[in-house]
Amino acid sequence: AEGVFTYDPGFVSTAACESQITYIDGANGILLHRGYPIEQLAEKSDYLETCFLLLHGELPTPEESEKFRNTVKNHTMVHDQVIHFFNGFRRDAHPMAIMCGVVGALSAFYHDSMDFSDQEHREIAAFRLIAKMPTLAAMCYKYSMGQPFMYPRNDLSYSENFLHMMFGTPCEEYQPNKTLAKAMDRIFLLHADHEQNASTSTVRLAGSTGANPFACIASGIAALWGPAHGGANEAVLTMLEEIGDEANIPEFIEKAKDKNDPFRLMGFGHRVYKNFDPRAKVMRQTCNEVLTELGLEDDPLLKIAMRLEQIALEDEYFVKRQLYPNVDFYSGIILKAVGIPVSMFTVIFAMSRTIGWFAHWNEMISGSYRIGRPRQLYTGYTKRDYPTE
C-alpha cells in the first residue's frame, strides 16, 4: 500500500545470545555438550552426570557425582499442597496443560524464600527442578488414570524411580526393569539440551526480565508443547499409526510434499540440522536394542518407521531440502514399548529438557545481561493523519 515501509534485505538481527553450554554444527550433524560429543555421552554417561556437566561445565569427580545424586534424591518429593492443583483439572486434561500449571505454581512455594542473585539458591532451584519434574510428570499420569500418586523411592535410580512412580501401585512394590530404565535414561540424556531452540530461547527471554526460574521453566514447557517442536514425538506416533501399513507409506510421502496440504512428515526436518540429527542415530540404535531385548523386534510401527526413513531419504524432494530424521522420529517407538501413553510423550521431553533450560537460564543470570527485546521489521503504514470529516 502507498507509504508502507518495505523490508530491507540488508537487515541483520543482532539478537544472537552467547553460550558455552552446547554446540551444534547443523551441516555436519555434530552436537557437543560442553565439548563432549552426544554419541560418547549416550554411550558412557547417564542423565544425572550429563545434568552436572551441563550445569557446571565439567564432568563430576566420583565424590561430586555421589553428592549430586544424593542431593537430587533429597528433593524428589513435592509439597503435599501441590496435590490440590491437580484436583482442579479434569481427569482428561492434556498432561502438558497440567505441567504448565503446576511447574509455574512451584513459584508459589519457593519464590519468596529464594534470592536468585545468590548462586547457592540457584543451585537449590536446579536440584528442586531436576528432582521434582519426574514426580510431577508421574502425578499427571496417575491423575489421568484415577490411581493414587506414588511417593518417590530413594533406593532406586533416577529413571527406575520415574518408572516406579508411573507404573507402581500401593498394592505391590514396583520391580525395576533394567532394560526399560536404561532406555528411559538414554531418552532423558538425548533430550537434555539443544542450544537455543524455541523453548530454550523462551526461557532465556523470560529469565532476562528477572522472572523466577520456576516461572521461566513453565514458559519453556508451554513453548515446547507445539507440534513443530516438542509435540512432534507425540505427532510421529500418531502419524505412524495412521500410516498403519508399509504399503501406505508412498501416499503419506506424497501428502508431505503437497504444498496445498498442511501435513508434514513428523519427526523429519530441523531448523538447524541439514544432515542427520546425531541424536536420531543414537535413538534408532537404542530403539532396536530395546525392542530386541523386549522381544518386540518385529514391532509393526518400528518396521513402518524404518521403511519410511529409507523411502524419504531416497526421495528427491527430501534429499534436495536436506530433510533427515530428527530426535523425535524414533523416541516415540521406544516410549510406547516402555508403556508410556502417547499423551505423555511431550511431558517426557519437557522433563528431560528442564536441565537444558535451567543451565541456559543460570548461565545468563550468572553473568551480565539485559532484558531481551527481539528486533522487529516494521512493514506497516508510515505515519498518517486521522480523517478530518
Residue 258 a catalytic site member: no
> Least separation, in Å, of the C-beta of 232 and ligand SDX?
3
Catalytic residue among 46, 191, 328, 360: 328
**Which residues 267-326 are close enough to bind ligand SDX by CB under 6 A?**
267-272, 321, 323, 326
What's the chain's Rg over C-alpha atoms?
22
CB-nearer residue toward ligand SDX: 7 or 386: 7
Is residue 265 within 8 Å of residue 256, measured between CB atoms?
yes
Question: How far apart are CB 109 and ligand SDX at their closest, in Å?
Answer: 28
* 50 binds ligand SDX, rule: CB under 6 A: no
Q: Is residue 256 at the binding interface for ligand SDX, with CB under 6 A as the rule?
A: yes
- Measure the CA–CA gap between 327 and 278, rounded to whole angstroms: 8
Q: Which of 266, 305, 308, 337 binds ligand SDX (CB under 6 A)?
A: 266
Q: What angle do CA 348, 289, 76 make, to 5 degrees?
A: 30
Active site residue 270: yes
- The footprint of ligand SDX on this chain (CB under 6 A) covers a number of residues equal to 20
> What is the smallest separation between the CB atom of 363 and ligand SDX, expressed in angstroms?
17
Sheet holding 30-33, edge to edge: 22-25, 30-33, 36-37
Look at the chain and count its residues. Answer: 389
Q: What DSSP string describes 78-112? A: --TTHHHHHHTS-TTS-HHHHHHHHHHHTHHHHGG
User: x/- contact string, 325-364, with ligand SDX (CB under 6 A)?
Assistant: -xxx------------------------------------
Indicate which residue of 33, 94, 270, 360 is catalytic: 270
200 and 178 in contact (C-beta within 8 Å)? no
Task: Map residue 22 onto helix, strand or coil.
Answer: strand
Give the one residue of 264, 281, 303, 307 binding ligand SDX; rule: CB under 6 A.
264
Residue 119 CA to residue 213 CA, distance in Å, equals 13
Contact 267, 236 (CB under 8 A): yes
**Min dist. Cβ of residue 317 to ligand SDX (A):** 7
Q: What are phi and psi of 145, to 5 degrees?
A: -90, -10
Rounded to the nearest 10°, the torsion over CA 32, 34, 36, 41 is -90
Judged by DSSP in three states, 46 sits in: coil
Near ligand SDX in 191-250, by CB under 6 A:
194, 197, 228-229, 232
- Residue 265 vs 334, nearer CB to ligand SDX: 265
Helix 178-190 and helix 345-366: axis angle, to 10°? 50
Nearer to ligand SDX, 78 or 335 (CB): 335
The span of 56-64, 81-89, 238-246, 265-273 binding ligand SDX (CB under 6 A) equals 265-273
Q: Which is nearer to ligand SDX, 160 or 328 (CB)?
A: 328
The catalytic site residues sit at 270, 328
List residues near ligand SDX by CB under 6 A.
Answer: 194, 197, 228-229, 232, 256, 264-272, 321, 323, 326-328
